[in-house]
Structure 1
Amino acid sequence: MSDQTPAPSLPVTFRPGLTRAILLTAGVVIFLVISGIALLLEQFGPGDQLTFVLTGALIFWVLAQLARVKVVADETGVTVVNIVTRRRLDWAEILQVNLRPGDPWVFLDLSDGTSLPALGIQPGIAKQRAIADAQALRALAEARSADRIAQDQG
């Protein structure tokens, strides 16, 4: 990733837009098809139909959870929303933003020695967009780091 990328204005939200659209569309279609089948097949009783509809709703819910991933950067830090977790980080906690060839998503190296996956930036379908988003997040983290060092020295 290039270090020449300018930092975007804050707040900014990074999310895999095309992946999100595909997951939500698939969820709606699957729900409608399963529910339609349940209602059209007359040999099913009300309990069976309800089970089909609830199964369709469960599948939609799972796909919606997969689609909710995002990374939100604001003046005070970054919120990483993954499939079942949400974590708020101060800028000082982020040491490095990594998206290496072959990585499924961005990884944030943290000051506590751990690495946090940020599924909101993933190169699966839109590789160039993910690279640009990772560069922008890196530029923000580096700018905030530089600001922090200047404040500490001033």
Structure 2
Amino acid sequence: MPESTAPALPVTFRPARTRAVLLTAGVTMFVVITTVGMMLEKLGPGERASFVFTATLFLGVLVLLARPKVVADEQGVTVVNITRTRRLAWAEILRVNLRPGDPWVFLDLSDGTSLPVLGIQPGIAKQRAIQDARALRGLADSRGSGAEQG
């Protein structure tokens, strides 16, 4: 892949539509559950607090699910998944994979492992995920050890 197709650095890849849906659903659920809890007249303060706590818990889970992203800069890539963040140098990335049917991109690493990259996923926006995967592949090929392997 020619380097001219690679985006300018730094660049952040994230599933924007999925993130918007998750955050909108989370805020909506929080408002609805909290409102219902406050409107029920027979509930005591503890029961109302449990409604707010439950709404906050749902919102927190959806915020975690909306967290994934990939940040590429001159030194390497930072992969932020649901609960973990991992920093990789360009030389550690051998290949960027997004095969048909894959739920997200996978990175083949120089230590023989594979790292899922939830920040590029074809769920709602398949064409965008394909473009992002190609862009990340172009960056990895032009900057990493993949360039030496041919």
Smaller-chain TM-score range?
over 0.9
Matches within 5 A, 1:49-128: 49-128=48-127
CA distance in 1, matches of 2:83, 2:42: 38
The change in CA–CA distance for 1:22 and 1:147 in structure 2 (over 3 A counts) is closer
Q: Distance in 1 between matches of 2:71 and 2:51?
A: 36
Instruction: Pick closer, same or farther for the CA change 1:49–1:75 going to 2, 3 Å.
Output: same
Correspondence for 1:12: 11
**TM-superposed deviation, 1:62:** 0.4
For residues 146 and 63 of structure 1, the distance between their equivalents in structure 2, rounded to whole angstroms, comes to 36
Q: Percent identity over the alignment?
A: 67
1:141 offset after TM fit, Å?
Answer: 0.3
1:42 counterpart residue number? 41
Q: Which residue of 1 aligns with 2:139?
A: 140
Query: Is the partner of 1:23 in helix, strand or coil?
Result: helix
CA RMSD of aligned residues (A): 1.5
User: 1:79 is aligned with what amino acid?
Assistant: T
**C-alpha contact (below 8 Å) 2:70/2:117 kept by paired residues:** yes
Cα distance between partner residues in 2 of 1:122 and 1:145: 22
Instruction: Report the CA distance shift for 1:64/1:12 in structure 2 as closer, same or farther (over 3 A).
Output: same
Q: Which runs of 4+ in 1 moved over 4 A?
A: 146-149
User: Is residue 23 of structure 1 aligned with residue 7 of structure 2?
Assistant: no
Secondary structure of 2:5 counterpart: coil
Q: Which 5+ residue runs of structure 1 have no aligned equivalent?
A: 150-154
TM-score normalised by the chain length of structure 1: 0.92
Deviation per residue, 1:109-135 (Å, 9 max, x gap): 000000000000000000000000000
Unmatched 5+ residue regions in structure 2? none
Aligned counterparts of 1:11 and 1:146: Cα–Cα separation in 2: 19
2:129 alignment counterpart: 130
The residue type paired with residue 62 of structure 1 is: V
Distance 1:8 1:88 in 2: 19
